[in-house]
Amino acid sequence: MTKVHTDYLWFNTSERQEFIRITDDIARIVSASGVMDGMVLVSAMHITAAVYVNDWEDGLIHDFQEWLEKLAPAGKSYRHHLTGEDNADAHLKRTLMGHQVIVPITNGKLDLGPWEQVFYAEFDGRRKKRVVVKVMGV
């Protein structure tokens, strides 16, 4: 029988930009769902945050952050800022990283490769934000 299970992760980072590993949180939710074979969607519910899969290595995370700053710099005169906002760069950065991933579930576990880790990337933090986790399968 098909099971669908929903949960949410909350974040309130102390820094404007923070990358947080959430693989274990997703694994825990999948375990609670009872789904043995299927998929789990992990999706940022705020439009200045990303969810992505890559390496758990501080140097690479630093490289990602420098690279994003180069391709989508803060502090430019974005049109979006006429609304009073100051975070247009965060919308662009999150677009480059992607805002959601699907992780396959096999034998009740996240079916990830040896170096795959799921990350939440915050680009406009210091406020409460959510990620939705939707598990579906048998």
Footprint of its own copies (CB under 8 A): 1-2, 4, 6, 37-39, 41, 43-47, 52-55, 57-60, 62-64, 66-67, 71-72, 78-83, 88, 91-92, 95-102, 104, 106, 111-116, 130, 132, 134, 136-138
Nearer to its own copies (CB atom), residue 24 or residue 45: 45
Count CB-CB contacts under 10 A for residue 68: 22
Nearer to its own copies (CB atom), residue 26 or residue 44: 44
**Least distance to its own copies from the beta carbon of 12, Å?**
15
Nearer to its own copies (CB atom), residue 75 or residue 113: 113
Helix (H, G, I), strand (E, B) or coil at 42: strand
| E strands, 1-138, in order | 3-11, 18-21, 38-44, 49-54, 100-106, 109-110, 117-122, 129-137
**Least distance to its own copies from the beta carbon of 15, Å?**
18
User: From residue 58, how far is each of 18, 97, 105 by CA, in Å?
Assistant: 12, 17, 27
- Taking each continuous run of H as one helix and of E as one strand, the counts in the chain are 3, 8
Under a CB-based contact definition with an 8 Å cutoff, are residues 50 and 99 in contact? yes
**Least distance to its own copies from the beta carbon of 28, Å?**
18
**Least distance to its own copies from the beta carbon of 105, Å?**
8
